[in-house]
Chains A and B, each alone.
Chain A
């Protein structure tokens, strides 16, 4: 990534950088969900609702992102990231917009709109270049809220061989027309999804070959469907707690990525994933398995087995291809049914 020096004004040094992915995919075979009139579909990711059908399609996962960052000196900077997605008719939207203040070498305070850091890959979900798969495993990244607006305190320090990065955050997200809930779960009804009183923390410990990340977050959920407030057991809100852990092992040529999480809302919703990869010069073949399991009879339950290849054919661009086999075990809460899908694409950073 070259941080291009766009202009050096009297007040700020402005840096422009970005990332892009052009991906295509299709369902090779699938059952769909006959009881909900869903045709054979591969739901490649939940938050953005990237859905492939039986014809080749470039729109669901292609995106273009630009980050502009102004360094105002004395530790203050302002950053915005605008992302245009094929899945949203390429309408550019601000995904990140925040001001940062570096108090000292260890502490930074940030305020504004940021990604909700639930999972290991949440923060850089859009930057395909930075990970091995076509996309972070869909069964893990199932939650409908992707961003929050609020405050974040970031701490980082190296202690002996270990690097410690931790953050504490608080904020709120009010999504007036949530795509995942509205389009996929409530049959086209306009769904307003509110996550408020969000309080969360993340700690990441890493050394050369090992990395562990732990996260916890609490929030209060409110929801309106077609303008009508949703009640849960006679109450107009419900409280949730999210816990997660990720452990990555980098053994030179081999690497292993794992992550698990639980959302304790009305029921427990559990996710797990494991990936094995091998680096062979510019080629990185991998296999992956992920699953989602709602702890209730007849609850939502699905898993994905994937095999793929990443090829670093250029210093700033990679080619990826991936085959996914999805098993959707639920009936009442079926999402997109069983499917087998192929996808490929190019990711760049600049």
Chain B
């Protein structure tokens, strides 16, 4: 019975954890633009190249295996990994755009966003620091 209870608690904890998995879209602290979900989608699909203020955007993504990547593609872009990669393969190999630059972990992402006024990226919400500004969560 005790074991059963432990297992029960363990599984609830795991479930709760995955329910609260969340990604934060981050920009440089100096960025004063209003960035809504629609603009985020346009940016990551290569359709918006400048912020409303006119500043050029540097689009950054975490790689396929990083924490939060799947969740971001699914919730913010409404695309599975395969749909996302097909979309960008189609554009990149036909001269219609360059895919977001890939970084391999949250640390690199925070540093890249901190040091580039035009950068936009995302990290698992637990990795957000005061060095960057959160504009949306998914």
Name A's B-contacting residues (CB within 8 A).
1-3, 5, 15, 17, 19, 65, 67, 69, 71, 77, 79, 81, 96, 98, 100, 105, 110, 114-115, 123-124, 126-127, 129-131, 152, 154, 156, 158, 163, 165, 208, 279, 282, 312, 315-316, 318, 349
Is B37 in contact with chain A by the CB < 8 A criterion? Answer: no
Complex Cα distance, B89 from A316, in Å, reads: 10
B89: chain A residues at CB < 8 Å are 1, 19, 124, 127, 129-130, 349
26 contacts between A and B (CB under 8 A): A1-B88, A3-B101, A3-B102, A17-B92, A69-B98, A96-B95, A100-B95, A124-B90, A124-B93, A124-B94, A127-B90, A129-B86, A129-B89, A131-B86, A156-B47, A158-B47, A158-B48, A163-B47, A208-B78, A279-B80, A282-B82, A312-B80, A315-B82, A316-B64, A349-B85, A349-B89
Inter-chain pairs besides A5-B101, A154-B95, 13 sampled, C-beta below 8 Å = A2-B102, A3-B101, A19-B93, A105-B48, A124-B94, A127-B90, A130-B89, A156-B47, A279-B80, A312-B81, A315-B81, A315-B85, A316-B64
Is B107 in contact with chain A by the CB < 8 A criterion? Answer: no
Evaluate whether A3 and B95 lie within 8 angstroms (CB atoms) in the complex, with A129-B85, A129-B86, A131-B86 already known: no
Is B118 in contact with chain A by the CB < 8 A criterion? Answer: no
Evaluate whether A105 and B49 lie within 8 angstroms (CB atoms) in the complex, with A129-B85, A316-B64, A318-B82 already known: yes
Complex Cα distance, B93 from A316, in Å, reads: 15
Nearest first, the 10 closest Cβ-Cβ pairs linking A and B are: A123-B94, A315-B64, A312-B82, A130-B89, A130-B86, A130-B90, A349-B89, A124-B90, A2-B102, A105-B49
Complex Cα distance, B91 from A124, in Å, reads: 9
The answer to whether A316 and B98 have CB atoms under 8 Å apart is no
B47: chain A residues at CB < 8 Å are 156, 158, 163
Is B2 in contact with chain A by the CB < 8 A criterion? Answer: no
A315: chain B residues at CB < 8 Å are 64-65, 81-82, 85
Q: Contact partner of A165 among B85, B88, B92, B96, CB < 8 A?
A: B96
Q: Contact partner of B95 among A110, A130, A131, CB < 8 A?
A: A110
The answer to whether B99 and A3 have CB atoms under 8 Å apart is yes
Evaluate whether A71 and B98 lie within 8 angstroms (CB atoms) in the complex, with A131-B86, A312-B82 already known: yes
Interface string of B93-115 (1 = CB under 8 A from A): 11110110110000000000000
Complex Cα distance, B78 from A129, in Å, reads: 19
Chain B proximity of A95: nearest CB distance (Å): 10
B99: chain A residues at CB < 8 Å are 1, 3
Complex Cα distance, B64 from A349, in Å, reads: 13
Is B30 in contact with chain A by the CB < 8 A criterion? Answer: no
Is B50 in contact with chain A by the CB < 8 A criterion? Answer: yes
Is B63 in contact with chain A by the CB < 8 A criterion? Answer: yes
A282: chain B residues at CB < 8 Å are 82
Chain A proximity of B115: nearest CB distance (Å): 15
A69: chain B residues at CB < 8 Å are 98
Within 8 A of A (CB), among B61-85: 63-65, 78, 80-82, 85
Chain A proximity of B64: nearest CB distance (Å): 4
B88: chain A residues at CB < 8 Å are 1
Chain B proximity of A141: nearest CB distance (Å): 15
Interface string of B38-50 (1 = CB under 8 A from A): 0000100001111
A127: chain B residues at CB < 8 Å are 89-90, 93
Complex Cα distance, B95 from A17, in Å, reads: 13
A1: chain B residues at CB < 8 Å are 85, 88-89, 92, 99
Complex Cα distance, B95 from A152, in Å, reads: 11
The answer to whether A3 and B93 have CB atoms under 8 Å apart is no
Complex Cα distance, B81 from A15, in Å, reads: 21
Complex Cα distance, B102 from A130, in Å, reads: 19
Complex Cα distance, B93 from A163, in Å, reads: 19
B98: chain A residues at CB < 8 Å are 3, 15, 69, 71, 77
The answer to whether A98 and B95 have CB atoms under 8 Å apart is yes
Chain A proximity of B45: nearest CB distance (Å): 8
Evaluate whether A115 and B94 lie within 8 angstroms (CB atoms) in the complex, with A3-B101, A127-B89, A129-B85 already known: yes
The answer to whether B90 and A316 have CB atoms under 8 Å apart is no
Chain B proximity of A201: nearest CB distance (Å): 16
A126: chain B residues at CB < 8 Å are 93
Chain A proximity of B16: nearest CB distance (Å): 24
Complex Cα distance, B87 from A127, in Å, reads: 11
A81: chain B residues at CB < 8 Å are 93
